[in-house]
Amino acid sequence: MLVIENCRLTWPDFTADYTLTVPAGHLCAVIGPSGGGKTTLLHMIAGFEVPESGTLTFDGQNLLPLEPAKRPAAIVFQDHNLFPHLSAAQNVALGLRPSLRLSADEKRLVSEMLDAVGLGGFEERRPGEMSGGQRQRVALARALVSGRPLILLDEPFSSLDPSLRRDMILLVDELRRKRPVTILMTIHTPEDVADVADQMAFVADGRVVASGKPADILSSALAPRIAAAVSDS
């Protein structure tokens, strides 16, 4: 279980203060207006931002003293997830061994993971030779192959067209049902995840304004603010 309690971050022009609990194995969709603090929330969990106060634990382990590499989290960004000079297989392999010196079993695991995201046979392709959706699948494969139990998806499919975006979300849902992972995914269009997410958190002005089942959140008094956030993005 991911537990965030009163984690406070301050910049000259912005203050964030997060409290959120995500049960183990859940897919939590994080929605909200642009600039409201969704990405900052994920970066804080990943270790790129360090809160001045509060607690952050995952399965009882305090994450705050840990470097990003030591945290049980893997992250996928909206763009620039892949190193352009490495092949798809090498990019995935970074999730296992940054040295890229893989054993035979690990190489097989990389291939299996590419198969799992629908990219069997794409091992030797460079990012420049793949579509945006394929590149995001490779990034997803790397996050999953790392074996880390917490996956952070920071608007991973925003640049894709609506039908492809929906396909990718269904792929995430399918993959997480085969593995014991907890997922936090920031997203601009809540309706894309309403039927697959277990939980939805509305983040605005650096705070988790509300959190609960997607249907409850989308039909709550926040509905007009959510609609406004979607139209703004």
Partner 1 sequence: MVLTLPHPGSLVAFAILGLVAGGFIALATVDGGTPALLSIGPYLGRVLAFSVIQALLSTLLSLVLGIGLALALARRRFPGRDVVLAILGTTMVMPTIVAVFAVFAVYGRSGWIAEGLAFLGWTEGFSIFGYPGILIAHVFLNGPFVARITLDGLNQVPAEHWRLAGALGFTPAQIFRHLDWPVLRAELPGVAGLIFLMCFKSFAIVLALGGGPSRSTLEVAIFEALKIDLDFGRVAWLALIQLAICLSMTALLHWAFTRPPVGHTIRSLVHRPDAKNGRLKVLDAVVLTVSALFIGPLAFSVLTGFRTLLAVIDADLLRAFVTSLTIASAAAILACLLAYALASAARRRRIVLRSPRMAAFYDILPDALLAVPPFALTAGLFLLIRRLGDPSTAGFILLPLINGLAAVPFAYRYVAPHLLTTEERYGRVAASLGLTGWSKLTIMDWPVLKKPLAAGFALAMALSFGDFGIIALFGGTELVTLPYLLYERLGAYRLDEASSIGLVIVLFAILLAHVSGRLSHAGD
φ, ψ at 180 (rounded to 5°): -85, 75
Distance of alpha carbon 36 from alpha carbon 135, whole angstroms: 27
φ, ψ at 88 (rounded to 5°): -60, -45
Q: Indicate the Cα dihedral angle 74, 153, 140, 24, nearest 10°.
A: 60
Candidate list 12, 13, 52, 67; residue touching partner 1; CB under 8 A:
67
Candidate list 6, 11, 23, 68; residue touching partner 1; CB under 8 A:
68
DSSP state at residue 48: S
Based on the shown chain and the rule CB under 8 A, indicate whether residue 114 belongs to the binding site for partner 1. Answer: no
Distance of alpha carbon 176 from alpha carbon 139, whole angstroms: 15
Number of chain positions touching partner 1 (CB under 8 A): 25
Based on the shown chain and the rule CB under 8 A, indicate whether residue 147 belongs to the binding site for partner 1. Answer: no
Question: Could you tell me the smallest distance in angstroms from the CB atom of residue 212 to partner 1?
Answer: 29
Candidate list 3, 64, 66, 94; residue touching partner 1; CB under 8 A:
94
Tally the residues of the chain: 233
Question: Could you tell me the smallest distance in angstroms from the CB atom of residue 180 to partner 1?
Answer: 20
Question: For partner 1, what does the binding mask look like between residues 1 and 40, x meaning CB under 8 A?
Answer: ----------------------------------------
The rounded Cα 198 to chain-centroid distance in angstroms is 15
Q: Which of 49, 43, 57, 53 is nearest to 8 (CA)?
A: 53
User: Between 73 and 114, whose beta carbon lies closer to partner 1?
Assistant: 73
Based on the shown chain and the rule CB under 8 A, indicate whether residue 48 belongs to the binding site for partner 1. Answer: yes
The rounded Cα 150 to chain-centroid distance in angstroms is 9
Question: For partner 1, what does the binding mask look like between residues 184 and 203, x meaning CB under 8 A?
Answer: --------------------
User: Between 66 and 209, whose beta carbon lies closer to partner 1?
Assistant: 66
Q: Which span (1-9, 84-92, 101-109, 191-199) binds partner 1, by CB under 8 A?
A: 84-92
Structure tokens at 98: 């940054």
Q: Where are the beta strands (DSSP E) in 83-194?
A: 150-154, 182-186
Kindly list the residues in this chain that would bind partner 1 in the complex (CB under 8 A).
Answer: 43, 46-48, 67-71, 73-75, 77, 79-81, 83-86, 94-95, 98-99, 146
